[in-house]
Structure 1
Amino acid sequence: MDVSKAMHAHADWVSEDTPVSEIARMMKTDDIGAVPVGKDDRLVGMITDRDIAVRVVAAGRDPARTRAEEIMTRGVVYCRTTESVEDAIHLMTQRGIRRLPVIDERKRLVGMLSLGDVAHAVGRDLSGELLHGVADHHR
Structure 2
Amino acid sequence: MNVEQAMHKGASCVSPDAPVAEIARLMKKDDIGAVPVCENDHLIGMITDRDLALRLLSNGADPKSQTARDVMTKGIIYCRSDQSIEDAIHLMEDKKVRRLPVINDKKRLVGMLSLSDISHHASRELSGELVQAVAMPHA
For normalisation by structure 1, the TM-score amounts to 0.96
The Cα of 1:138 is off from its aligned counterpart by 3.7
Match of 2:76 in 1: 76
Residue in 2 that maps onto 1:39: 39
The 5 Å alignment of 1:92-103 reads: 92-103=92-103
Structure 2 partner of 1:60: 60
Runs of 4+, deviation exceeding 3 Å: none
Matched, 1:118 2:118: yes
| Aligned counterpart, 1:89 | 89
Secondary structure of 1:13's counterpart equals coil
| Conserved? CA contact 1:9–1:111, under 8 Å | yes
Structure 1 gaps, min length 5: none
Letter of the aligned partner of 1:70 in structure 2? D
Amino acid in structure 1 at the alignment position of 2:53 = A
Q: 5+ residue gaps in structure 2?
A: none
Query: How many residue pairs end up in the alignment?
Result: 139
Task: State the distance in 2 between where 1:87 and 1:31 align.
Answer: 27
Distance in 2 of aligned mates of 1:95 and 1:11: 21
Deviation (angstroms), 1:40: 1.2
Residue of structure 1 equivalent to 2:49:
49
TM-superposed deviation, 1:135: 1.3
The letter for the 2-side match of 1:17 is: D
Percent sequence identity over aligned pairs? 58
Alpha-carbon RMSD across the aligned residues, in angstroms, is 1.1
Superposed displacement of residue 62, structure 1: 1.8
Amino acid at match of 1:110: V
Alpha-carbon separation, structure 2, partners of 1:110 and 1:97: 18
Q: Distance in 2 between matches of 1:53 and 1:10?
A: 26
- The 8 Å contact of residues 102 and 113 in structure 1, kept in 2 or not, is answered as yes
